[in-house]
Amino acid sequence: MYLSKHRNGYYYIYFQDESGRRKSISTKTKLKSEAAKFLSEFKDHLQQRKDSKTIPVSIQHFITKFLIYSSHIHSENHTKSLRTTLIKLLEYSGDINLNELQKQKVISFIEWRLSKVSNRAVKRDIANLSSAFNWAIEKNFLSASLTKGIRKPKIVEKLLVYFTEAEYQTLKRVIDNEDIKDIVEFGLLTGVRQNDLINLTWQQIDFKNSSLILDNRNSRTKSGKVHSLPLSISALRVLHKRELNKAGDLVFTSQGERFKQWYLCKRFREYITKAGLSPQLSFHSLRHTFASWLIQKGVPLYVVSKLLTHSDLRTTQIYSHLKQENLSESVNLLSIENKSNN
């Protein structure tokens, strides 16, 4: 193993991997002192990898194996998110063995992503990498997580976008497809996530107890837990309407076929445009609307959290600003009367 200065002015480390193949890695510096420090750390990394006896696997092969695992325990959307992050890492690092990947390289990858996408997207990247690396440790592909200690970027809090009652009525009037109108209305009346709506089956509907069961059979809930949600009279009315013409196991279909998520989102955006509403409104805004309307009608934050199946009340706190009038009422309980001096 040795250092050599490349024609581009940067120092590179040349070494042999476990299989005897000659490889090189850039130190990303033109200063010999910094390159020497990188070489020392790299040697330590290789020694630790050797001592840990991890199983060598290429990043490409690791991604394939991990995504197969993910598809069995995560929702389709979460697996897509994991795939996006890992493919970007592969593009950045090259198809080296996973146990050759250094933490500094991961930090550089995060910094590169910050220059390309939002803080929220990078925060998701870090979470995705942590999940993947933890699985890699279990499979002995890594000896330690490469994201430990990496700070997630701060997210600037933004007001959530939701429908006013007038806006929602305007939207309903322009939806000329009954299948889409039904799933939109049920989504607003229950706050259920889009993926769960698309995969909802009649077996999950308990008409006797007016409830809906999210049981992870057809689509995995975000928390992975089973949830029983109460159904309002209005929500049951939508279900009874769908039941009259049901042709299969799925509650919501498009002309008898399973809804495609991309198609539902596309048509929803078209109706938003047709109604002349804010382009910031999306299908997910129905879930925000469900929560926002309940909060505005005086339903406690804790109850709304349970209805949204949030595992942490802090997640529901994003709706707390809608109860500002309660804060005003509270402070006005304290008053000091002005008494004039006679």
Is 116 in contact with 27 (CB distance < 8 Å)? no
CATH fourth-level superfamily of 165-327: Intergrase catalytic core (1.10.443.10)
pLDDT range class, residue 341, cuts 50, 70, 90: low
Residue 338, pLDDT above cutoff 70: no
pLDDT in tens, 226-270: 888 999 999 999 999 999 988 789 999 998 899 998 999 999 999
Beta bridge partners of 230: 211
Average pLDDT, the chain: 86
CATH 1.10.150 for domain 59-138, yes or no, is yes
- What distance in Å separates the CA atoms of residue 242 and residue 179, rounded to the nearest whole number? 9
pLDDT in tens, 142-184: 988 899 888 888 866 566 889 999 999 999 999 999 999 999 9
Range in 60-69, 116-125, 126-135 the model is least confident about? 116-125
Residue scoring higher pLDDT (57 or 159): 57
Neighbours of 12 (CB within 10 A): 17
Q: Is the model's pTM score more than 0.75? A: no
pLDDT value, residue 276:
96
- 196 membership: H or E segment, kind and range: helix 194-198
Considering 243-257, 272-286, 317-331, the range whose residues carry the highest mean pLDDT is: 272-286
The DSSP secondary-structure symbol of 54 reads P
Range in 256-265, 296-305, 330-339 the model is least confident about? 330-339
